[in-house]
């Protein structure tokens, strides 16, 4: 056995997802998910992270960044400890941890492009006693890449199949698509918002964290003028490689388009349609047959999946459950695999995904 732990907290900033995997090699289907854990952030820390991400902090921003980096690192370490408490192994049995961290800024198109994920890996390594690999995205940017998305490289390794055309769609806060085509480079990119706008809108109007199965959206109707306005966003017509984040697609981006006459449930239905149409448009640039496999939190939004199936026919829409991988844990599993690649000095090919100049060994290694 070769045991690795993957850690990630997504753009919703609600919890840390942790997985324990046995990864015997980097070859296809050589990963076995042994245990999982989701550790919610305390509400106070979640609020601080969201405010920091939206530039709503008060006082010395460097002090605040340092404090948040430390706190998030402690919670990531705690997630590892709790995961191992209910696992048939101990810290000394783990080869390494792959920690994505918490993204607080992603600026791939800035004059000096950068991305920043916090959650001090020194703290994770020190408090768990396990070698930790982190800071993956900045290495990709150093080689000319956009720093995102990374999941497509994992999708290529574990979901590609010579018998059919496949695409994998991760519906997190942001939607990213991986196109797996026989004999051609893997293509992966962010299409735009997945859950982030719907989550923020229902939280504002209903006080809920998310729209369960898209039920609230289904009570509304599409506002066509609003949808047309939203689809005029230049990002949606940009070709890959491209990446974005919730620091761009958020309520500050949305609210200038909202009129007082718009019913909140109609806006929610329109936001669901925005996600479905932008995913559909980008997938069908590359494939017209095959199967689309959905992972991420949006895999539980039945209304969204139903709409995607309507749009994508004759392409089939399934969740990764049918491939034997729970859609909730795919992204955390990816970072366990990235840790395995780095610690074995094996490169990851992101050239056709992020635009990196060459295959690279990604991430930095932090020893306990």
> Are residues 79 and 214 located together in one domain of the fold?
no
Tokens 């070769």 sit at which residue? 2
> Are residues 105 and 210 located together in one domain of the fold?
no
Q: What is the pLDDT of residues 108-162, one digit of tens each?
A: 989 999 999 999 999 999 999 999 999 999 999 999 999 999 999 999 999 998 8
Find out whether 325 is annotated in a ligand binding site: no
Which are the contacts of 366, defined by CB distance < 8 A and separation ≥ 6? 121, 122, 124, 125, 131, 132, 133, 134
Are the beta carbons of 19 and 86 closer than 8 angstroms? no
For residue 98, pLDDT over 70 is answered with: yes
CATH number at residue 86: 3.30.420.40
Q: What is the pLDDT of residues 215-264, one digit of tens each?
A: 999 999 999 999 999 999 999 999 999 999 888 999 999 999 999 999 99
Q: What is the mean pLDDT of residues 84-106?
A: 96
- DSSP 3-state assignment of 328? coil
> Are residues 18 and 122 located together in one domain of the fold?
yes
> Are residues 45 and 118 located together in one domain of the fold?
yes
Q: Buried b vs exposed e over 333-356: b needs ≥16 C-beta within 10 Å?
A: bbbbbbbbbbbeeeebbbbbbbbb
Mean of the per-residue pLDDT values of the chain: 94
Are the beta carbons of 105 and 114 closer than 8 angstroms? yes
Number of residues that this document lists for the chain? 368
Tokens 């306005």 sit at which residue? 229
Q: What is the mean pLDDT of residues 340-368?
A: 95
> Are residues 185 and 318 located together in one domain of the fold?
yes
Find out whether 14 is annotated in a ligand binding site: yes
Q: How many independent structural domains does the chain possess?
A: 2
Tokens 């080689």 sit at which residue? 143
More confident residue, 254 or 164: 254
Tokens 């006082």 sit at which residue? 59
- DSSP 3-state assignment of 35? strand
> Are residues 255 and 355 located together in one domain of the fold?
no
For the beta carbon of residue 55, count every other beta carbon within 10 angstroms. Answer: 10
The reported pLDDT for the residue numbered 153 is 94
Beta strands in the chain (DSSP E): 3-9, 15-23, 31-40, 94-107, 114-118, 132-134, 166-171, 174-180, 187-193, 291-295, 316-319, 364-366
- DSSP 3-state assignment of 189? strand
The reported pLDDT for the residue numbered 246 is 86
> Are residues 110 and 161 located together in one domain of the fold?
no
The reported pLDDT for the residue numbered 296 is 95
State the Cα torsion 358-360-364-368 to the nearest 10°: -170
Find out whether 17 is annotated in a ligand binding site: yes
| Of 233, 220, 201, 246, nearest in space to 303 by CA | 220
Q: What is the pLDDT of residues 260-313, one digit of tens each?
A: 999 999 999 999 999 999 999 999 999 999 999 999 999 999 999 999 999 999
> Are residues 233 and 309 located together in one domain of the fold?
yes
Find out whether 15 is annotated in a ligand binding site: yes
Measure the N-to-C terminal CA separation of the chain; round to a whole number of Å: 22
The reported pLDDT for the residue numbered 182 is 78
> Are residues 34 and 123 located together in one domain of the fold?
yes
Q: Cα separation of 133 and 121, whole Å? A: 7
Show the tokens assigned to 68.
Answer: 């948040």
pLDDT tier for residue 59 given thresholds of 50, 70 and 90: low
Q: Cα separation of 157 and 170, whole Å? A: 15
> Are residues 339 and 261 located together in one domain of the fold?
no
Q: Cα separation of 94 and 7, whole Å? A: 14
The reported pLDDT for the residue numbered 188 is 94
Find out whether 11 is annotated in a ligand binding site: yes
> Are residues 250 and 286 located together in one domain of the fold?
yes
Q: Cα separation of 129 and 124, whole Å? A: 8
The reported pLDDT for the residue numbered 26 is 60
- DSSP 3-state assignment of 258? coil
> Are residues 212 and 294 located together in one domain of the fold?
yes
Find out whether 315 is annotated in a ligand binding site: no
Range of the domain at 194: 152-323
Find out whether 320 is annotated in a ligand binding site: no
């Amino acid at each position: 056995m070769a045991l690795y732990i993957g850690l990630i907290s997504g753009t919703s900033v609600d919890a840390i997802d942790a997985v324990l995997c046995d990864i015997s090699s980097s070859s296809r289907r050589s990963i076995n998910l042994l245990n999982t854990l989701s550790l919610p952030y305390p509400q106070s820390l979640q609020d601080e992270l969201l405010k920091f991400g939206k530039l709503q902090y008060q006082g010395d921003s460097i002090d605040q960044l340092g404090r948040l980096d430390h706190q998030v690192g402690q919670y990531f370490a705690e997630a590892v400890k709790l995961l191992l408490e209910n696992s048939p192994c101990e810290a000394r049995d783990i080869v390494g941890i792959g920690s994505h961290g918490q993204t607080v800024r992603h600026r791939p198109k800035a004059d000096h492009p950068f991305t920043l994920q916090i959650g001090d890996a020194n703290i994770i390594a020190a408090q768990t006693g396990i070698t930790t690999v982190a800071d993956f995205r900045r290495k990709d940017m150093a080689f000319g890449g956009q720093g995102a998305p990374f999941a497509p490289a994992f999708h290529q390794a574990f979901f590609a199949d010579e018998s059919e055309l496949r695409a994998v769609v991760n519906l997190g806060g942001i939607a990213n698509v991986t196109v797996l085509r026989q004999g051609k480079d893997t293509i992966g990119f962010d299409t735009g918002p997945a859950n982030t706008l719907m989550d923020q809108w229902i939280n504002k109007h209903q006080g809920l964290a998310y729209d369960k199965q898209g039920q609230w959206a289904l009570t509304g109707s599409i506002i066509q003028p609003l949808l047309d306005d939203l689809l005029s966003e230049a990002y949606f017509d940009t070709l890959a490689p491209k990446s974005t984040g919730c620091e761009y697609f958020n309520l500050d981006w949305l609210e200038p388009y909202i009129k007082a006459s718009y019913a909140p449930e109609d806006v929610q239905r329109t936001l669901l349609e925005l996600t479905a149409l932008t995913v559909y448009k980008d997938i069908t640039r590359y494939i017209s047959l095959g199967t689309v496999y959905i992972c991420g939190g949006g895999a539980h939004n039945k209304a969204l999946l139903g709409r995607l199936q309507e749009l994508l026919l004759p392409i089939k829409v399934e969740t990764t459950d049918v491939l034997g991988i729970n859609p909730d844990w795919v992204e955390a599993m990816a970072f366990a695999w990235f840790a395995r690649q780095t610690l074995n000095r094996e490169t990851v090919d992101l050239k056709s995904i992020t635009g990196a100049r060459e295959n690279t060994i990604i991430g930095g290694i932090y020893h306990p």
